[in-house]
Structure 1
Amino acid sequence: MSYTIVKADLIKNKSDLINLWKRNYPHLIQPEKRFNWMYEENPYGPPTCFLLKHNKSNNFIGAASLIPRRMFINDKPAMAAIAADFVIDKPHRSLGPALMLQRAIISECNKGKFKFIYGFPNKLAEPVHLKVGFKVLGKTVRMVKLIHTYEKLTERTHPLIAKILSPLLDLTINLPNVLKPTDIFSEFLEYFDERFDHLWQNIPKNNQIIGERTASYLNWRYISDPYKSYKIFVVCDKEKKLQGYIVYSTENKTVHIFDILSQDFYETLLRSFTIQIKKKKDINSISFMLLEDCPVIHYLKKHLFFKRPEDLNIVIYYKENAVLLKSIYDWYLVAGDKDI
């Protein structure tokens, strides 16, 4: 079978791409909402998308996209992209068509449109990424903190014993969070205001690679998301200056952190957040997926977050030298940096 790569016109080919999603993403409810949000409202501009046409039928049977994202490399802005929406109809899922799409994707980086590309491919897609030149940046890990232990204990012991032991265990694992700092206050917000721009401007970005986190970006990424409801927790100092935030959602008695950022208040931020979450009797744990070497892991461990393996690698493509880009800088990549 022969195929042709076509660079998508996101106006003319909108229905082609959405139909591909419908056929390959059965869990994606109303894919039109994703297109409107991710492809038309992105503050960094529209994605670059390639379609794969089956020449015999003249139908589009695959696609792959690059979602633009402004990153900072050693405190200097650069336009990067997230490899996303890599789909091929089942009858055509072989190495050849997959490689054609991924080679089209990296050609945009080779031409200089993007400084680098990163992605979170699944285990089936990862070998294709690696074959065209992507390198593994690192594994993802899931950091988990128990909040209420009763249900977990009932999985291993009698409910009566769990009822006796759980209050003691709850107190022990949350002991570092008992005393709330008196020189800060915390609150929950409905949206990201101009204070987040000031926080982002003051965050040190030397010797690391981190995605831009302005109020405009954060409101688009989290508040405008048509599929998930997020909450914003912040801490401020005694002058009411924003010192850090956590973005999270709640599902199945677990709080899932998607983003966290602070300058010098990570410990206070995590302590205050845990105190607030512990008040919710229907929450058993806090979970946070991020790059295994992400600098914030140090603070999570201090607050008794324990590492659990996550079967997902982060890959990068860099025209000049992906290994060099990987080794020189600390990468700040967390769940919210994923391609959604």
Structure 2
Amino acid sequence: MDTNPAYTVHEADIERDRDLILGLWRGNLGEDARMARKYDWFYRQCPLGAPLTLLLRHEESGEWVGVGSAGPRQMLMGGSRVLAGVLVDLAVLPVHRSLGPALILQTALMKAGAKRFELLYGFPNPKAAAVFKRVGYAPLGELTRYVRVLRHGDYARRRVPALLAGPAGWALDALDRLRLRARSVRLQGQWQARADATLGALWSLAGAGDGPVAVRDLAFLRWRFDQSPLVEVRYLVVRDADGGALAWFAGEARVHGLHVHDFWSRRGAVGPTRAELATLLRSARGAGHASVSVELGAAAATSAWGAAGFAAREARPVFGRSSGASQEAFAARLWLTSADEDE
């Protein structure tokens, strides 16, 4: 009986194996230059240490044929700090792209990750979801995209005759402006290019709730957004009449509008108020955006977003595994936005 495995798994050295890993990603995960920039930021500059990265070798040929990683994130859960790992960048060369090799790699990553991380979570595409289930990750819910329209011309053109669409869109916009101004009359929004102590001061351990929720302090914002070569965010700081900071939103201009990657407020995990969201919407309109979008897990999708006019669109599954709390408690309390991913 042949006991020699067809594939073996080995831990990568982030500095030594850079070119090898980029080669495995090539043609599998995204545009080459973008992935090289991501590697130098996400893998080599993470303030919590290099991601756990495993390589898959085909023993008969001696070739490296796959790679997968878990990037460290500091979270709070039940008032205690825990180290979580976000599962990212799984790639297997096409000739080895059957369930077996991917399952071997993901199983090894889960076992190795359990030794370093108290939580593991990921956002697999539909093809990878089957592997996540087979390995033993549990469904933790969904990350849902919500959209709020600010300029109603396109909406009107789909519902009324062409001659009336222009006036109807203008009227809807005018009514919306009045409503948003009424809801945020004592607040103001100020844009800034970089995170600073004002944003960091809104983060507090007490406001994080039961979690799990990633620590959103100044160090995190500077690494996750200001140093990232993958996104170009501006921060909107919402202030009261006396100039005190109430909330911040990290937004990126996209073709169809402003996408909010992340946010935090003085209310912590309870989320921003309707007035603070109205200020976000007013400021986005003033910056020329036709809509605002955001991705939220269930715990972060508080009622204020719906009350502010955000409508749910498509959703992506979230899978994970906890070495401590029960999967049910983990799933119910996991607080997620786009910032909890790797790009």
Q: Given the two structures, how large is their TM-score scaled by the length of structure 1?
A: 0.92
Could you report, residue by residue, the CA deviation over 1:247-290 in whole angstroms, capped at 9, with x for unpaired residues?
A: 11111131111111112453232111111122244x22111112
User: CA–CA distance in 1 between the matches of 2:153 and 2:328?
Assistant: 47
Instruction: State the partner residue of 1:217.
Output: 220
Q: Alpha-carbon deviations, 1:218-269, whole Å to 9, x = none?
A: 1111111212211110112345332210011111131111111112453232
Give CA-to-partner distance per residue, 1:1-49, whole Å, 9 cap, x none: 9211111011221111011112312434342211110011111111010
Shift of 1:330: 2.3
Alignment-mate amino acid for residue 291 of structure 2: S
Structure 2 equivalent of residue 295 of structure 1: 300
Partner of 2:62: 58
Matched-pair contact (CA < 8 Å) for 2:183–2:274: no
Quote the Cα distance in structure 2 between the aligned partners of 1:205 and 1:85: 28
Contact 2:85 / 2:117 at 8 angstroms: preserved in 1?
Answer: yes
Alignment of 1:216-255 (within 5 A): 216-255=219-258
3-state secondary structure, aligned to 1:178: helix
Matched, 1:285 2:288: no
CA distance in 1: counterparts of 2:160 and 2:187, whole angstroms: 40
- Unaligned stretches of 5+ residues in structure 1: none
One-letter amino acid of the structure 1 residue matched with residue 266 of structure 2: Q
> Aligned pair 1:268/2:272, yes or no?
no
Is the partner of 1:84 in helix, strand or coil? strand
Matched, 1:307 2:312: yes
After alignment, is 22-31 or 44-53 more displaced? 22-31
Matched to 1:9, the amino acid is: D
Following superposition, the deviation at residue 127 of structure 1 comes to 1.0
Residues 337 and 235 (structure 1 numbering): CA distance in 2 closer, same or farther, change over 3 Å? same
Deviates more, 1:196-205 or 1:159-168: 196-205
2:189 touches 2:283 (CA, 8 Å); kept in 1?
no
TM-score with structure 2 length normalisation?
0.91
Which of 313, 318, 341 is equivalent to 1:338?
341
1:70–1:78 contact (8 Å) kept in structure 2: yes
| Cα distance between partner residues in 2 of 1:10 and 1:271 | 44
1:123 pairs with 2:129: no
- Does structure 2 conserve the Cα–Cα contact (< 8 Å) formed by 1:231 and 1:249? yes
Do the aligned partners of 1:138 and 1:313 also contact (CA within 8 Å) in 2? Answer: yes
TM-fit CA distance, 1:181: 3.9
202 and 180 in structure 1: CA distance in 2 versus 1, 3 angstrom threshold: farther
1:186 is matched with 189
Q: Which amino acid aligns with 1:289?
A: E
1:325 CA drift (Å): 3.1
Structure 2: which amino acid aligns with 1:316?
Answer: G
1:77 corresponds in structure 2 to 81
Q: In structure 1, what is the Cα distance between the partners aligned to 2:59 and 2:279?
A: 59
- Secondary structure of 1:220's counterpart equals helix
* Cα contact 1:120–1:339 (8 A) shared by 2: no
Q: What is the SS of the residue equivalent to 1:186?
A: strand
- Judge which range, 151-160 or 18-27, deviates more: 151-160
Residue of structure 1 in register with 2:33 after alignment: 29
Contact 2:77 2:212 in 1 (8 A): yes
In structure 2, the partner of 1:67 is 71
In structure 2, runs of 5+ residues without a counterpart are none
Once residues 203 and 148 of structure 1 are traced to their aligned partners in structure 2, the CA distance between those partners, rounded to angstroms, is 38
Distance 1:251 1:28 in 2: 21
Q: 1:87 corresponds to which residue?
A: 91
Q: Which region of structure 1 is more displaced relative to structure 2, 189-198 or 70-79? A: 189-198
Which residue identity lines up with residue 7 of structure 2 in the other structure? Y
Map of 1:149 onto structure 2: 152
Per the alignment, do residues 275 and 30 of structure 1 end up closer, same or farther by CA in structure 2, a change over 3 Å counting?
closer
Moved more, 330-339 or 44-53: 330-339
SS in 2 for 1:201: coil
The equivalent position to 1:101 in structure 2, one of 101, 105, 108, is 105
Which AA in structure 1 matches 2:258?
Answer: V
Q: Which amino acid aligns with 2:314?
A: P
Partners of 2:257 and 2:290 within 8 A in 1: yes
Contact 2:42-2:342 within 8 A present in 1 as well: no
Matched residues in 2 for 1:159 and 1:181: separation?
33
- Partner secondary structure for residue 212 of structure 2: strand
